[in-house]
């Protein structure tokens, strides 16, 4: 289970026990499509996806719905939720999911015991913001077929990119793709079929099969730069002084090496 591996590398053994125990103790099963937090709720916790995928979405008063983010296993979400008075968006499971819901008091306690967590959180938020910007560019500027292809590319790469099988998990229905790209489900279907015809990309049984990623990427004009993969080690140099610049801490070296952070961010992000 990749999630466990991340933690093994991220934290000191003692810290890891605390963190894992906390997540395990707070794990919740969420039925597919069920809300985890709802727009307007008071924020009480933050969340870590353990299994399955989650979505952030924003719903307009008349029911129109926009997915504004997809969260894969291992990803943290809801830090922003944690600092505001009321949620400005909702968080829900895609299909069936398991999510750890950690309350404020417990999180504060964890942060005190696992100082390196805050760096990870900051990096996680910044990369999520970068993804958000790329989605904006997609929805605002790309054509329907480019948007669908681009989303496929992103999901593919965020799960580790090309493998022997040429396949990856894909837990979104065509309706979800529509809600994420600002298209109707009907039109998404036509684009999916078009992609199948043009580059053999197959969507089915919650899997995406991509015979030639290069072909798909070409249709989407996909460039993975915005995911900042392999750059996570930079936070050991940069993010730490940025967010903890008091002399005492600048002097102290991070407890976790680049290796550990790199592992974390490489997974699902």
Where does this chain bind DNA (CB under 7 A)? 31-32, 95-96, 143-145, 173-175, 182-187, 189-190, 192-193, 203-206
The tokens describing 247, both together, are: 């002399």
- Which tokens belong to 79? 């830090």
Contact 100, 50 (CB under 8 A): yes
Q: Is the dihedral of CA 30, 149, 135, 164 positive or negative?
A: positive
- C-alpha to C-alpha distance for 164 and 213, rounded to whole angstroms: 12
Interface with a copy of itself (CB under 8 A), residue from 8, 132, 206, 212: 132
Q: Compute the least distance from the CB of residue 157 to DNA, in Å.
A: 21
CB of 91 to DNA, least distance (A): 18
Residue list 41-80, contact with a copy of itself (CB under 8 A): 56, 58, 60-62, 64-66, 68-69, 79-80
Shortest spacing between CB 175 and a copy of itself, in angstroms: 14
Selected binder of a copy of itself within 20, 134, 194, 215 (CB under 8 A)? 134
For 151, the 3-state DSSP assignment is helix
Task: Tell the smallest beta-carbon distance from residue 94 to a copy of itself (Å).
Answer: 17
Chain centroid to CA 145:
23
185 binds, among a copy of itself, DNA, none (CB under 5 to 8 A by kind): DNA
Q: How many whole angstroms separate alpha carbon 68 and alpha carbon 114?
A: 30
| d(C-alpha 192, C-alpha 198), whole Å | 10
Minimum CB–partner distance for residue 71 and a copy of itself (Å):
14
The two beta strands, 90-103 and 35-37, are antiparallel
Q: Which is nearer to a copy of itself, 108 or 206 (CB)?
A: 108
Q: Is 263 in the site for a copy of itself (CB under 8 A)?
A: no
CB distance 236 to 253 below 8 Å? no
Enumerate residues 163-202 that contact a copy of itself by CB under 8 A.
Answer: 181-182
User: C-alpha dihedral over 47, 71, 130, 105, to 10 degrees?
Assistant: 0
Residue 141 or 165: the one with the smaller Cβ distance to DNA is: 141
Decide which of a copy of itself, DNA, none touches 32; Cβ closer than 5 to 8 Å per partner kind: DNA
Sort residue 188 into left (φ over 0), alpha (ψ -120 to 50) or beta. Answer: alpha
Residues that bind a copy of itself (CB under 8 A): 56, 58, 60-62, 64-66, 68-69, 79-80, 82-86, 88-89, 104, 107-108, 111-112, 115, 117-118, 121-123, 125-126, 128-130, 132-137, 139-142, 181-182, 221, 225-226, 228, 231, 234-235, 238-239, 241-250
């Amino acid at each position: 289970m990749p999630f466990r591996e991340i933690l093994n590398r991220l934290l000191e053994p003692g810290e890891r026990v605390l963190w894992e125990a906390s997540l395990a103790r707070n794990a919740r099963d969420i039925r597919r499509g069920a809300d985890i937090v709802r727009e307007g709720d008071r924020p009480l916790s933050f969340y870590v996806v353990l299994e399955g995928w989650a979505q952030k979405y924003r719903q307009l008063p008349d029911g129109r719905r926009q997915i504004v983010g997809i969260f894969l296993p291992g990803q943290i979400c809801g830090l922003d939720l944690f600092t505001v008075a009321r949620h400005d968006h909702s968080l829900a499971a895609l299909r069936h999911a398991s999510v750890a819901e950690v309350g404020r008091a417990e999180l504060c306690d964890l942060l005190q015991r696992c100082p390196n967590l805050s760096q990870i959180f900051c990096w996680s938020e910044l990369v999520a913001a970068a993804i958000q910007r790329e989605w904006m560019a997609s929805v605002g500027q790309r054509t329907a077929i480019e948007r669908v292809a681009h989303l496929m590319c992103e999901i593919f790469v965020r799960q580790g990119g090309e493998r022997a099988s040429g396949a990856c998990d894909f837990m979104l229905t065509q309706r979800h793709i529509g809600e994420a790209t600002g298209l109707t489900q009907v039109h998404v279907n036509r684009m999916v079929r078009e992609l199948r015809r043009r580059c053999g990309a197959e969507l089915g049984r919650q899997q995406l099969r991509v015979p030639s990623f290069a072909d798909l990427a070409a249709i989407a004009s996909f460039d993975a730069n915005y995911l900042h993969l392999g750059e996570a080690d930079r936070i050991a140099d940069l993010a730490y002084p940025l967010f903890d610049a008091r002399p005492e801490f600048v002097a102290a070296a991070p407890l976790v090496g680049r290796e550990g952070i790199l592992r974390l961010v490489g997974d699902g992000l």
